[in-house]
Amino acid sequence: MKLRGLRTVNVVCLTLCIIAGICFLLVLFVISIIHTYISYNSFVNSFQFSTVPFWKDNRTINASPLVPVIKLEEVSLLNLSIVVVSCCRNVRKHLVGFQRNLQAITALFGDYRIYLGESDSEDGTLTFLNQWRNNDSEHVRVHTKGQQRWRIFSRTARIASCRNSLLQQAREELPSFAYYFVLDVDVGASSLFDVKDFVSNFIYPSSSWIAMTATQRSEYYDIWALRIKSILPFDCWQRINKLTWFFIDRSYLMKHLVKIHQEPIPRNVSLIEVESAFGGAALYNAKYLNDHCSYEGKHQYGTWWNDNKCEHVSFHECLQQYATEQKIYINPQFQIC
């Protein structure tokens, strides 16, 4: 009887503990929901949202913009060298156009190297890259990391790892190079690409810029990489995900943090000074590529479901710490696609 009574007491205690645990979790859940709603409303009511695209915003317009010092037809790059780097995964369908456009770019320079990083491809990407290297072993380097998905789960962390590896390879192999060009394969394969748009980066004094980043004809899509202190000083997607995780309508934040800034930038707009941007392509003045700077693809204090980070942002933050007066710009004439 005593044993049966003890079992009954244990079952009751266990049941009470389970109920208490469930109640505790429910309380935490409710508190989290309330906190999210308060945070959302506080942000919406306090943040100064743009009413126009960033490139029209008076907070972006520079009173003394960088101006061209030579004409486009006067640009000569034959005494200079360039390194081109791209990370490739399942991009076989883009590689013919990508190769064509790269040949047009590298033909402008006296010397060049192309570093191609690959991982996790299942569509013949690596075979094409190896053939490209075999046909031009003097200039083309291919580095594959095999299957990365099961070792590095974050997509942006894998991309950051690739970009860091290619930058390190270039530094180790070449004693010096004048320019460093980071290009995404899909946009770099566009049939709309005009090499004159690439050349437009060189009409500005090279001593005044760290990087020139690209735009697109149809829309300025890459808001994730964009940072402007007074307009987008944070990761827009992380902020949206954090503030709308529990059935909060994200359409308002999407409209005012992302879509409003995706309006295409006219070619006649002056250079736009930013803290970070990419747009599928970024041309760096190699003398400002500090050895201490690298790409990071994960937020240091992010949650596991919301820790992806645009890898360009940390790289650009670091470069600007070591630069003096040089800036990062979006070049509206540099329409990559």
Q: Which residues of 163-172 are buried (b: 16+ CB within 10 A; e: fewer)?
A: bbbbbebbbe
Q: Where are the alpha helices (DSSP H) in the chain?
A: 2-46, 95-106, 125-135, 155-173, 185-188, 195-199, 236-243, 251-253, 311-322
Instruction: Report domain extents, the chain.
Output: 1-46, 53-73+209-337, 77-191
% of the chain exceeding 90 in pLDDT: 71
Strands across the sheet with 179-183, in order? Answer: 140-144, 111-118, 81-88, 179-183, 281-285, 209-215, 327-335, 272-274
Predicted model pTM: 0.90
Contact 88, 125 (CB under 8 A): yes
DSSP 245: T
Reply yes or no on whether the pLDDT at 302 is more than 60: no
Three-class DSSP category at 11: helix
Q: What is the pLDDT of residues 187-240, one digit of tens each?
A: 999 999 999 999 999 999 999 999 999 999 999 999 999 999 989 999 999 999
Indicate the CATH number of 77-191 among 3.40.50.2300, 2.40.160.10, 2.120.10.30, 3.90.550.10.
3.90.550.10
Reply yes or no on whether the pLDDT at 62 is more than 80: no
| Per-residue confidence (pLDDT) for residue 60, from 0 to 100 | 83
| Per-residue confidence (pLDDT) for residue 24, from 0 to 100 | 85
